[in-house]
């Protein structure tokens, strides 16, 4: 009987093609909207998250201007920070602008960054040559790593490795070339805040510190071993810095990109839920359309129902037939909506530029929602059909 009810449902749907399509339209629109919204939002979120992770996941940035009595962080403070259990490395960052020359080429206001070997150990930024090593951290070391723009500016059509640059009146030897895209977020922020060009040169941080005339570090990066312990690590860092600056307010600030990432994921999750809820309203409208069509169908087929009951059909069989027709109608609309939703998501992903990944969760939600709508809104018409009195039904012939 289940198979016969299914076949009869398909026959009745085919017999009223236009009415069936218009009835399914609400389900199609609702499921399409749910699939497209969830897939697009998930795809964009994953793309943004991956980019954000590249910029500094597992990293805590410290800005420590200090107090009137103590400017910045000392080597002793950095040693204490490095001894925190979850800290894998401490990388100071010194930034300044200086004139740089190479033979007859002189460029003013070149961005000079002082970095340690820890920075290069935790960031894949070298395109050619070598990074700065622990040996280069000597205050008298005269080596540097330049970016591609600096290589074009000072070593046009030449191999920059081994070349010489005069930085702040001192000769430096080029030992490496940076990649064009630097994934370090704080370096990018420094360059955005500075109106100078794109020329960037990295030298040992102790040498850069001597050029600034400062004795302490005001900016550094801490690399975590386990990002899952970021909150506890932040508390330990704050404890060390509070002691270093005698618990003075506004003496330092911490930027934990992992916490920002968690906040962003929470916000996008809420947005996805909200958008899916709005799209689900279309499914309810589609369900009402199915109920309306099935009630009309029961009225039109009163004679058929009465005849079947007179021949011995049980109310449960009549109910199963109409309920089956409602579910099949809803599922057909759901399947069409799933196909359209994924097609729209693929087109949007191609146009925006993020990787399209079919959301299994979105497909499951669309499928079970449409099946549930068919059962929910088909129950009342099916129940009405099963309760018809066969004598009253046959009297309407």
Domain boundaries, the chain: 2-52+263-395, 66-91+218-250, 94-216
- The whole-model pTM stands at 0.57
Higher pLDDT, 388 or 222: 222
- In 3D space, the residue among 302, 314, 283 whose CA is nearest the CA of residue 376 turns out to be 283
Per-residue pLDDT band at 205 (split at 50, 70, 90): very high
List beta partners, residue 203.
Answer: 114
Residues 294 and 326: beta-carbon distance below 8 Å: yes
Residues 264 and 48: beta-carbon distance below 8 Å: yes
Distance CA 381, CA 299 (A): 10
Per-residue pLDDT band at 241 (split at 50, 70, 90): very high
- Produce one character per residue of 185-208: b if its CB has 16 or more CB atoms within 10 Å, e if not: bbbeebbeeeeeeebbbbbbbbbb
| Cα torsion 225, 229, 234, 240: sign | negative
For 232, other C-beta atoms within 10 Å of its C-beta total 13
Q: Percentage of the chain surpassing pLDDT 70?
A: 83
Residue 273 predicted with pLDDT over 80: no
Residues 294 and 381: beta-carbon distance below 8 Å: yes
Task: For residue range 21-68, list pLDDT tens digits in order.
Answer: 877 887 888 888 888 888 888 888 777 767 666 655 678 889 988 888
Is 82 strand, coil or helix? Answer: helix
| Sheet containing strand 253-256, strands side by side | 87-92, 219-224, 59-63, 253-256
Average pLDDT of the residues of the chain: 80
């Amino acid at each position: 009987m289940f198979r016969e009810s299914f076949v009869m449902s398909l026959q009745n749907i085919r017999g009223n093609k236009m009415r069936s399509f218009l009835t399914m339209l609400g389900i199609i629109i609702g499921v399409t909207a749910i699939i497209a919204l969830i897939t697009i939002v998930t795809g964009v979120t994953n793309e943004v998250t991956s980019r954000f992770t590249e910029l500094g996941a597992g990293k805590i940035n410290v800005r420590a201007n200090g107090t009137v009595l103590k400017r910045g962080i000392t080597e002793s403070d950095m040693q204490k920070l490095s001894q925190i259990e979850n800290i894998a490395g401490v990388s100071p960052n010194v930034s300044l602008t200086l004139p740089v020359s190479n033979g007859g080429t002189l460029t003013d206001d070149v961005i000079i960054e002082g970095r340690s070997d820890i920075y290069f150990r935790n960031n894949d930024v070298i395109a050619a040559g070598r990074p700065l090593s622990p040996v280069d951290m000597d205050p008298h070391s005269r080596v540097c790593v330049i970016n591609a723009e600096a290589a074009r500016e000072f070593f046009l059509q030449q191999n920059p490795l081994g070349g010489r640059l005069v930085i702040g009146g001192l000769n430096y030897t080029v030992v490496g070339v940076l990649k064009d895209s630097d994934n370090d977020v704080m370096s990018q922020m420094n360059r955005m805040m500075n109106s100078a060009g794109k020329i960037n040169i990295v030298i040992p941080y102790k040498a850069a510190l001597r050029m600034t005339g400062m004795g302490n570090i005001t900016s550094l990066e801490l690399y975590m071993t386990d990002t899952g312990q970021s909150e506890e690590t932040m508390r330990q860092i704050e404890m060390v810095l509070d002691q270093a600056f005698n618990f003075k307010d506004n003496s330092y600030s911490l930027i934990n990109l992992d916490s920002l990432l968690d906040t962003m994921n929470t916000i996008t999750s809420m947005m996805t839920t909200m958008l899916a809820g709005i799209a689900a309203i279309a499914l309810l409208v589609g369900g009402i359309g199915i109920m309306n069509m099935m009630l009309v169908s029961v009225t039109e087929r009163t004679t058929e129902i009465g005849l079947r009951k007179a021949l011995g059909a049980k109310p449960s069989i009549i109910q199963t037939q109409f309920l089956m027709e409602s579910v099949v109608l809803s599922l057909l609309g759901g399947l069409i909506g799933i196909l359209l939703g994924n097609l729209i998501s693929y087109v949007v992903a191609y146009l925006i530029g993020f990787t399209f990944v079919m959301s299994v969760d979105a497909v499951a939600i669309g499928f079970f929602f449409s099946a549930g709508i068919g059962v929910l809104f088909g129950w009342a018409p099916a129940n009405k059909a099963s309760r018809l009195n066969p004598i009253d039904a046959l009297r309407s012939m």
